[in-house]
Chains A and B, each alone.
Chain A
Amino acid sequence: MTLKRTTRRRLRDGGAYVVLLAAIVVLVTTADREAISKNFLDGETWRGMWPDIVLIAAKNTVKYTVIAFAGGIALALVLALMRLSPLRLYRWLATGYIEFFRGLPALVVIIFMALGVPLAFGWTPPGGTIGAGLIALIMVSGAYMAETLRAGIQAVPKGQREAAQSLGMNGFWTMLTVVLPQAIRIVIPPLTNEFILLVKDTSLLTFVGMQADQVELTSFGQQGLVNYSNASPLLAIALVYLVISIPASQLVAFLERRQQRASR
């Protein structure tokens, strides 16, 4: 039996729609709408979370992300420059560090810094357990971003460095004014990706325990779950995470487009 190609495609597309429609019908009819609205959309719980969910939890999540990101970039820059150093020892040290911290779960490093180090050495990092957790996040994100930065620095055309050198600029000024600004443009998309990953990784800090005014979104949601015996706080924090991370990725897409128009 032969059918025209367009007819076959229409049949196949139609079939896909039928399957989707059936799935939606099953979900809507079988879902326990009462349980959903009671557990996730409970008005009293939602009102009770306000305004702490924004003024404390979201604020802290953003704060921790920015601290970890800024510290991570600074560390990544040092590691990337070491990776590109003519001195073999520096290259080895940086490579060893990067491979080590990329190979470990971030949570293990966080627990180690916040709980393991005080236990082993009797020394608590500045800022208590949260400070220790942030240091751990910096150590881990620095390892990831170092590789990104190195790739960006190497992607700057060789002629740029040569032009700066031929003008008599030393290695420091060549790197600072010519190479790095161009490298950073190249790595803005992957670095934003890293930023969004960090927004989510701050949830790992939940494990180290924190005081009331240090609470970030995940701890806030978890505590809410217990306090209200209701799952609404989880839906609430999920929405706040999306409100933070989706605009961030949209901003990058915008920056990328503008940059493509501006140069080359």
Chain B
Amino acid sequence: MSTSPMTTPAIQVSDLHKSFGEHEVLKGIDFHVDQSQVVCVIGPSGSGKSTLLRCVNRLEEPTSGKILVEGIDITDPEVDLDAVRSRIGMVFQQFNLFPHMNVLKNLCVAQRRVKGRSKAEAVEVARRNLAKVGLADRENVYPAHLSGGQQQRVAIARALSMDPDMMLFDEPTSALDPELVGDVLAVMRDLASEGMTMMVVTHEMGFAREVGDNLVFMDGGVIVEEGDPHQVLGDPQHQRTQAFLSKVL
């Protein structure tokens, strides 16, 4: 669907700074995600990893720096932000399903309003994606009647229904009961194996090791260390990485 050559990174971030008032959360981030790559971002809370992710579709306004998505500078005030966002799927820690719509409507509303698809077309795409996340039988249910794991899988299906070129995951399993985490990770694993470009902020080290092509460790608003997940997790070079991993592994 994208016309950009494979050499253009899906996401290219350079010298990104972000401050909330006096407090500088991101202190110069350089970072990229290649097409079909899965990049996991780990780090202690408050390290700026979620803020970095949210800058990529400009849910947070960068203070300075450049963010290219498929070669398009999204910090350019002239850019059609809605068009760019419709190509970037996003999954939130708190799911953020629309509580007043049933599952099918959750998946269809943006397809119809943003992509201009007919109702029949939108429903067809929605059903395909619901089947993919294993919830084909739940299309008429309201979000409140689903478990957390089911809600998150619906949220993934909702993002996929826009046929995005890449997916952003903001701690997708952090709000889930432990026994529900596996289903969500399985869906994400399938996506990765299909070649979806993914940027995942997570605390799931197992997922980062098995599925990730690249691992980024952030602390204090900077990238401390990055590289092959087995390498970073197995033999961290930096002292702060070692300290963090010794607590979570």
Contacts and interface: CB of A to CB of B under 8 A. Distances in A.
Best-buried of A159, A163, A263 by chain B (most CB within 10 Å): A163
Best-buried of B110, B114, B144 by chain A (most CB within 10 Å): B110
A169 B111 CA distance: 9
A168 B96 contact: no
B155 to A, nearest CB: 8
Contacts, number: 70
Nearest to B54: A162
Contacts of B57: 166
A186 to B, nearest CB: 11
B142 interface: yes
Interface in A121-180: 157, 159-160, 162-170, 173, 177-178
Interface of B: 57, 59, 82-90, 92, 94, 96-100, 109-110, 113-114, 142, 144, 155, 158-159, 162
A165 B85 contact: yes
Nearest to A178: B98
A206 interface: no
Nearest to A177: B109
A182 interface: yes
Contact of B113 (A169, A182, A262, A264): A169
A166 B85 contact: yes
A96 interface: no
Given A163-B98, A182-B100, A168 B142 contact: no
B94 A159 contact: yes
Contact of A263 (B83, B85, B88, B142): B142
A12 interface: no
Contacts of A181: 100
A86 to B, nearest CB: 13
B114 A167 contact: yes
Interface in A88-139: none
Given A173-B113, A263-B100, A166 B90 contact: yes
Contacts of A9: none
Best-buried of B90, B94, B113, B142 by chain A (most CB within 10 Å): B113
Contacts of A159: 92, 94, 96
Contacts of A182: 98-100
Contacts of B90: 163, 166-167
A169 B116 CA distance: 11
A248 B90 CA distance: 43
B86 A168 contact: yes
Nearest to A163: B96
Given A163-B96, A167-B158, 9 more contacts: A159-B96, A160-B98, A166-B90, A167-B110, A167-B114, A182-B98, A182-B99, A263-B144, A264-B99
Interface in A232-264: 262-264
A162 B82 contact: no
A165 to B, nearest CB: 6
A185 interface: yes
19 contacts: A160-B98, A164-B98, A166-B59, A166-B159, A167-B85, A167-B86, A167-B158, A167-B162, A168-B85, A168-B87, A168-B110, A168-B114, A168-B162, A169-B110, A178-B98, A182-B100, A262-B144, A263-B100, A264-B144
B147 to A, nearest CB: 14
A139 to B, nearest CB: 31
A145 B54 CA distance: 35
A interface: dominant SS: helix
A162 B159 CA distance: 13
B92 A163 contact: yes
Contacts of B144: 262-264
Nearest to B84: A168
Nearest to A182: B100
Contacts of A170: 82, 114
Contacts of B82: 165, 168-170
Contacts of A167: 85-86, 90, 110, 114, 158-159, 162
B99 A164 contact: no
In the complex, the 3 A-B pairs of residues with the closest C-beta atoms, listed nearest first: A168-B86, A167-B110, A163-B96
A163 B110 CA distance: 10
A185 B142 CA distance: 16
Nearest to B59: A162
A264 B159 CA distance: 22
A167 B85 CA distance: 6
A125 to B, nearest CB: 38
Contacts of A166: 57, 59, 85, 88-90, 159
